[in-house]
Amino acid sequence: MTTTTALLLLALSATPAPAAKAPAQAPQLKTEREKTLYALGVAAADSFKVFNLKPEELAVVQRGLSDAVLNRKIQVDMNVYRGKVNELATSAYGDRSRAALVHFAKEKGAVRSPSGLIYIPSREGTGASPGDGDSVKVEYEGKLPDGSVFDSSRKQGGPVVAPLSSGIPCWKEGLKQMKVGGQARIVCPATLAYGATGKPPSVPPNSTLIFDVELLGVEKPAAR
């Protein structure tokens, strides 16, 4: 679950602010604070897109948020429904992740392994392929099915060198199919990534992960 989602769910269950009247119409964005608050709404929307809400369902969500923030009576028992919110989120992320696997499996050149991993080469390398004991030097970007980036080597300052054995199962399986100089997309079902637990706060439960990877080098383990 993302940080924004967590904050919004906290707002629904935390001690609300003093009562206040809701605006009769959508406010104009005149001040920097108003524009920033509007941006807060836009940022929050990213966390709700996974639910594929219909307009009438979005109105129900807005009602819950307004009731909590404006100190109105909460219409459900949050001791019961807080857990149901998490269940709904987990189910929604799972649905989107399964849809992503179907989508990427249809891409040109995609190869789906027995494990469920989808490997889509974009440039074949000419160098060595990594083995179990090797370290790899890679540039990579990891995305969720909604396109949001949860990890990137560039955010860490450039290429990353790490033991192949330290990665999640699909990372190891996918990189073994590459050769130095190659580029590929490695699509990981949740069972080969972080599973039903996810990796809070960046990776929700049951998430398919999409890695765009360039293999820059392979380093053999040091001789003992």
Q: Low-confidence residues of the chain, pLDDT below 50?
A: 1-23
pTM: 0.69
- Which pLDDT belongs to residue 193? 94
Q: How many CB atoms lie within 10 A of CB 150?
A: 17
Of the candidates 90, 11, 82, 93, the one whose C-alpha atom is nearest the C-alpha of residue 49 is 93
Please give the pLDDT value at position 43: 82
What pLDDT is stored for residue 16 in this prediction? 42
CATH topology of domain 112-219: Chitinase A; domain 3 (3.10.50)
pLDDT of residue 102: 93
**C-alpha to C-alpha distance for 119 and 31, rounded to whole angstroms:** 49
Catalytic residues, by residue number, are: 140, 150-151, 168, 194, 211
The predicted structure's pLDDT at residue 94: 79
20, two tokens: 């206040």
Annotated domain spans of the chain: 3-75, 112-219
